[in-house]
Amino acid sequence: MANPYDKARELAGELQGSEEFTTLKGLHDQVNSDEVAKRMLDNFRNVQLGLQEKQMQGQEITEEEIQEAQKQFELVQQHEVISKLMEEEQRMSQLVGDINKIITEPLEALYGTGEEQ
Amino acid sequence: MANPYDKARELAGELQGSEEFTTLKGLHDQVNSDEVAKRMLDNFRNVQLGLQEKQMQGQEITEEEIQEAQKQFELVQQHEVISKLMEEEQRMSQLVGDINKIITEPLEALYGTGEEQ
Ligand SMILES: [Ca+2]
Ligand SMILES: [Ca+2]
């Protein structure tokens, strides 16, 4: 008989074999084999991470930092492969989010019902 | 052919049919049909939520609040059904965590490999 772990492994296999994953992996490999593109994306991610960290620590973000982030964003947006990669990352993130929602539905139902009683 | 969404629904079904879920639901229903137990658990959860909120907003938690939370915790721990429910909630949370880890393994591998390149 199946169990949640086996099904989860099957699902991971489906995800890995999905068009979404294949496209994402292709673009990921393409960016990683292009030194200029990789550096551009790394820079952008580092700026983003730095701002997120500051925000989480309640530190103020300066006007210069916002402008720098915007500049980096416009730069990566203009790079066809990177912008496609970021699009596909969002699509994958949506897919994983949808999947999580489906999986936790039984628990949501259990706790939702509990509240109403 | 299967797709990630179908598999996710199958997995949700497995989760709902699992011994872990059945046990959790049974205890949940038992607590919810017992007014005293329900009130005790609600009080405990409200105290916990209140402290979490304060912590997230960077507010200081007083000695009295810590003592009150501890008192509530000891109280629910002494209630057999509630303490079992809390045990089972932890078990379910572990299961869902394991499942999430399995599902996101292909993505972890993709981004892990990317870092090493
Ligand atoms: Ca696209
Ligand atoms: Ca147990």
- pLDDT, tens digit, for every residue of A21-48? 999 999 999 999 999 999 999 999 999 9
Ligand (nearest to CA of B26): 2
Mean pLDDT of B17-38: 96
The long-range contacts involving B37-40, CB below 8 angstroms and separated by at least 24 positions, are: B37/B79, B37/B81, B37/B82, B38/A117, B40/B75, B40/B76, B40/B79, B40/B82
pLDDT cut 90: percent of chain B above it: 83
Residue of B nearest to A96 (CA): B104
For chain A, report the end-to-end CA distance as a whole number of angstroms.
34
The H or E element that residue A91 is part of is helix A80-103
Is domain B19-116 in CATH 1.25.40.420, yes or no? no
- Rounded to the nearest angstrom, the distance between the alpha carbon of A12 and the centre of ligand 1 is 21
DSSP 8-state secondary structure symbol assigned to residue B61: P
Domain ranges in chain A are 30-110
pLDDT of residue B117: 38
Cross-chain residue pair A12–B106, CB shorter than 8 Å: yes
Mean pLDDT of B12-34: 96
Ligand (nearest to CA of A84): 1
Rounded distance, CA A5 to CA A73, Å?
39
Q: How far is A20 from chain B (nearest CA, A)?
A: 10
Q: Give ipTM to 2 decimals.
A: 0.81
